[in-house]
Chain A
Amino acid sequence: MLKRKDTMKNKKIGLLITFSIIVSLLVPSLRGAVIHFGVIRAIEEKIDKLREKKDPYRNLPDISTFRSQKSDRFIADIGDIARGHPYKGRRANLPHQGAHIHFDSTQWPKGGGDPDNYPAIYACVDGVVSKLDYSFRYGDKNQYYIDIAFARDSAGSVYYLHHSIEPMIAEPSENFYRQFVLVSLGQEVRKGDVMAYMYTPLVAGSACHICFHIKRIDKEGFMAPALFTLPVVQGYHDRWSGDGFDGADDIPPCMGYKLEADENPFGTGAVDILW
């Protein structure tokens, strides 16, 4: 009888020790963890992630949203801009299907040679990196570019903002431009994130610029990047310097000038000025 009692007591102590160990292991790893009520819930979450992988753009807002909800974050800091011009549509005297932000590469870097001493290139809207090339090659020249998918329309088209670092100049060494790009393909970006730093070799001088416009994935045609609030557009306009002309015509503050209907991302037809 006494022996049986002792055995039971030992068993209880053994159990207590075993579960103390298990619980002490479980509790820290459970801290902050999501616990799914049933395996089906856990699988549903995995299916959602799979769905995001399959269609990473499914949660993007409709392009019409950007007619009224403009961004107050420009692609570059206004103070860094040396000159520039808006997207000049096909109805302009001198069409140019990309807005430009010019930098004076002789003024950079400010500080050491690390990438973050060059002008920052920001995500001006929330989106997903839909395409990028750290070293796009054309002949013996290279460039880097980043596309941010940020909207869709009722027909299912996905709109992206293309940021092209120009002019194309051969990299000083293989993969040299890679260090200036902070994002990767498929990455989600939030408005205000630094996506890259602006670098072109010194030889570019003041020709160093970002060319940007809106396009649709798998569709032809360029559109004006009319995504910014009026104060931002005004600030950008103030930095245009001598580039803010269409031939002899002084271009007023805008992001798109003399646009054909298909160059207007909001589908409101041909317009002279779009911001």
Chain B
Amino acid sequence: MLKKFLLVIITVFLVGSLTAPIVTGDNLDNRIGIGLGNPYISIKYGLSSKFSIEGRGAFGSGIFVGGARLYYNFNPEYRAVIFVGGEGDYVSFNVDDMEGFGFVAYGFLGGEYFITKRLTFNLDIGQAYIFLKENESALDEEGLEWVFNLGINYYFK
């Protein structure tokens, strides 16, 4: 179900990125936005029309993930902007019987759709390398996982 949904969304983005007219008249250069997603909060800044950086914090039950992202935008002048990027995060967890830390390295492909000049809908999918270590036992767990993110951004400028 999730995969079908993903396929439809990606198709819409691809079509939008090629055919939609310019509606914002802006690109992502020097713009600051705040984001909300599944579940994360973020603040994003356009370094140039092609590159953006973002700070992110994600929260779960007893889990905190904090890190930064770098985006490369293929077509910033379009309504549907396609991007690739990388993310690095620090993880800490304290759940029931276990406490520990770790990190995530995530490479992704995604898109950002300008609903209005300031409000965007965005998604990305990619593979995350996750490493976790439990404090008490010193046991660790690592591996690659597919991750899919959805969210909205609000740009101040």
Interface residues of chain A, those whose CB is within 8 Å of chain B, are: 11-12, 15-16, 18-19, 22-23, 26, 30, 33-47, 49-51, 53-55
| A46 and B100 alpha carbons, distance in the complex (Å) | 12
Is the pair A38, B149 in contact by a Cβ cutoff of 8 Å? yes
Contact digits for B146-157, partner A, Cβ 8 Å, 1 yes 0 no: 111110000000
Is the pair A45, B139 in contact by a Cβ cutoff of 8 Å? no
Smallest CB separation, B9 vs chain A (Å): 12
Is the pair B18, A39 in contact by a Cβ cutoff of 8 Å? no
Interface residues of chain B, those whose CB is within 8 Å of chain A, are: 2-3, 6, 10, 14, 17-18, 37-40, 58-60, 63, 65, 74-75, 82, 84, 89, 91, 93, 95, 97-98, 100, 102, 104, 106, 109, 125, 128, 130, 132, 134, 137, 139-143, 145-150
| A39 and B124 alpha carbons, distance in the complex (Å) | 11
The residue from A23, A34, A40 contacting B65, defined by CB atoms under 8 A apart: A40
Is the pair A39, B146 in contact by a Cβ cutoff of 8 Å? no
| A38 and B17 alpha carbons, distance in the complex (Å) | 24
Smallest CB separation, B84 vs chain A (Å): 8
Smallest CB separation, B39 vs chain A (Å): 7
Could you give 7 example pairs across A and B, Cβ below 8 Å?
A15-B74, A40-B63, A42-B130, A42-B145, A44-B60, A46-B143, A54-B134
Given A26-B109, A47-B95, A50-B134: A40 in contact with B125 (beta carbons within 8 A): no
Given A18-B74, A51-B98: A35 in contact with B146 (beta carbons within 8 A): yes
Given A34-B145, A36-B148, A46-B132: A23 in contact with B60 (beta carbons within 8 A): no
| A43 and B60 alpha carbons, distance in the complex (Å) | 9
Of all chain A residues, the one with the shortest Cβ separation from B18 is A12
| A275 and B22 alpha carbons, distance in the complex (Å) | 79
| Residues in A neighbouring B106, C-beta threshold 8 A | 39
| Residues in B neighbouring A40, C-beta threshold 8 A | 39, 58-60, 63, 65
| Residues in A neighbouring B140, C-beta threshold 8 A | 50
Is the pair B141, A22 in contact by a Cβ cutoff of 8 Å? no
| A22 and B107 alpha carbons, distance in the complex (Å) | 13
Is the pair A30, B147 in contact by a Cβ cutoff of 8 Å? no
| Residues in A neighbouring B102, C-beta threshold 8 A | 43, 46
Smallest CB separation, B125 vs chain A (Å): 7
| A45 and B39 alpha carbons, distance in the complex (Å) | 16
The residue from B75, B109, B132 contacting A50, defined by CB atoms under 8 A apart: B132
| A43 and B58 alpha carbons, distance in the complex (Å) | 11
Given A15-B17, A46-B141: A39 in contact with B147 (beta carbons within 8 A): yes
Q: Most chain-B Cβ atoms within 10 A of its Cβ — which of A11, A43, A49?
A: A43
Is the pair B82, A43 in contact by a Cβ cutoff of 8 Å? no
Is the pair B98, A15 in contact by a Cβ cutoff of 8 Å? no
Is the pair A19, B82 in contact by a Cβ cutoff of 8 Å? yes
| Residues in A neighbouring B58, C-beta threshold 8 A | 38-40
Is the pair A39, B82 in contact by a Cβ cutoff of 8 Å? no
